[in-house]
A and B are shown apart, each in its own frame.
Chain A
Amino acid sequence: MVTDKPDNFDDEVSPIAFYLDRGLGVPTYLQLVHQVDYALRLGFLRAGDQLPRIKDVTRSLAVNPDTVMKAYRELELRGIAAGRPGVGTFITQAPAVVGLKQMAALQKKLTTWLAEAAEAGVDELGMKALFTAALRDFSGGGAASRLPGRAEARREGGAA
Chain B
Amino acid sequence: MNVIETDGLGKRYRQTWALRDCRLTVPAGHVAALVGHNGAGKTTLLRILAGVVTPTAGTATVLGFTPGSQQARDAVSAIDQTVPLYRHLRVRDQLAAARELNDQWDTDLAIQRLSSLNLMTSGKVGKLSGGQQAQLALTLALARRPRLLLLDEPLASLDPLARQEVLGWLMTCVAEDGLSVVFSSHVIAELERVATYLVVLSQGRVQVAATIDSLLDSHLALTGPAADAGQLAGQVPVITAQRTGRQAQVLARTDTAPPGWAARPVTMEELVLGYLREPAARVLPRLEAAR
Q: How far is the CA of A60 from the CA of B164 in the complex (A)?
A: 8
Is A64's CB within 8 Å of the partner chain B?
yes
The answer to whether A58 touches B196 (Cβ under 8 A) is no
Main secondary structure of the interface of B (DSSP, over half): helix
The answer to whether A65 touches B192 (Cβ under 8 A) is no
Min CB gap B149→A, angstroms: 14
Is B284's CB within 8 Å of the partner chain A?
no
For window 166-204 of chain B, which residues contact chain A by CB distance below 8 Å? 167-172, 174-176, 189-190, 192-196
* Count, chain A residues at interface, CB 8 A: 24
Is B265's CB within 8 Å of the partner chain A?
yes
The answer to whether A58 touches B255 (Cβ under 8 A) is no
Name the residue of chain A whose CB is nearest to the CB of B30. Answer: A66
Q: Give the bracket for the number of chain B residues in contact with chain A.
A: 20 to 34
Q: How far is the CA of A22 from the CA of B191 in the complex (A)?
A: 11
Name the residue of chain B whose CB is nearest to the CB of A67. Answer: B193
Name the residue of chain A whose CB is nearest to the CB of B166. Answer: A62
Among the interface residues B169, B171, B221, B267, which one has the most CB atoms of the partner chain A within 10 A? B171
The answer to whether A27 touches B192 (Cβ under 8 A) is yes
The answer to whether A58 touches B265 (Cβ under 8 A) is no
Is B256's CB within 8 Å of the partner chain A?
yes
The answer to whether A59 touches B267 (Cβ under 8 A) is no
* A 18-53 binary contact with B (CB < 8 Å = 1; else 0): 001010010110000000000000000000000000
Is A94's CB within 8 Å of the partner chain B?
no
> With a CB–CB cut-off of 8 A, which chain A residues contact B175?
54-55, 58, 65
Main secondary structure of the interface of A (DSSP, over half): helix
> With a CB–CB cut-off of 8 A, which chain A residues contact B190?
62
> With a CB–CB cut-off of 8 A, which chain A residues contact B194?
62-64
The answer to whether B171 touches A62 (Cβ under 8 A) is yes
* B 257-291 binary contact with A (CB < 8 Å = 1; else 0): 10000011101000000000000000000000000
The answer to whether A59 touches B193 (Cβ under 8 A) is no
Name the residue of chain A whose CB is nearest to the CB of B163. Answer: A62
Is B216's CB within 8 Å of the partner chain A?
yes
Is B31's CB within 8 Å of the partner chain A?
yes
For window 102-160 of chain A, which residues contact chain B by CB distance below 8 Å? 142-144, 154-155, 157-158
Name the residue of chain B whose CB is nearest to the CB of A69. Answer: B175
Is A61's CB within 8 Å of the partner chain B?
yes
Among the interface residues B169, B189, B265, B267, which one has the most CB atoms of the partner chain A within 10 A? B265
Min CB gap B224→A, angstroms: 15
Q: How far is the CA of A142 from the CA of B257 in the complex (A)?
A: 7
Q: How far is the CA of A93 from the CA of B194 in the complex (A)?
A: 30
The answer to whether A154 touches B265 (Cβ under 8 A) is yes
Name the residue of chain B whose CB is nearest to the CB of A63. Answer: B193
The answer to whether A64 touches B174 (Cβ under 8 A) is yes
Q: How far is the CA of A116 from the CA of B190 in the complex (A)?
A: 43
The answer to whether A20 touches B193 (Cβ under 8 A) is yes
Q: How far is the CA of A154 from the CA of B262 in the complex (A)?
A: 12
> With a CB–CB cut-off of 8 A, which chain B residues contact A66?
196
Q: How far is the CA of A67 from the CA of B265 in the complex (A)?
A: 17
Q: How far is the CA of A73 from the CA of B164 in the complex (A)?
A: 25
Name the residue of chain A whose CB is nearest to the CB of B170. Answer: A62
Min CB gap A157→B, angstroms: 7
Known contacts: A25-B267, A67-B193, A154-B265. The answer to whether A62 contacts B257 by CB under 8 A is no
13 interchain pairs (CB within 8 A)? Answer: A25-B267, A27-B265, A58-B174, A59-B168, A59-B171, A62-B194, A63-B193, A64-B193, A64-B196, A65-B171, A67-B193, A143-B220, A143-B255
* Partner-A contacts on B (CB < 8 A): 31, 164-165, 167-172, 174-176, 189-190, 192-196, 216, 220-221, 255-257, 263-265, 267
* Partner-B contacts on A (CB < 8 A): 20, 22, 25, 27-28, 54-55, 58-67, 142-144, 154-155, 157-158
Closest 4 CB pairs of A and B: A158-B264, A62-B167, A65-B175, A58-B171
List 13 additional contacts besides A143-B220, A158-B264; criterion CB under 8 Å.
A22-B193, A59-B168, A62-B165, A62-B168, A63-B194, A64-B196, A142-B256, A142-B257, A143-B257, A143-B263, A157-B264, A158-B221, A158-B265
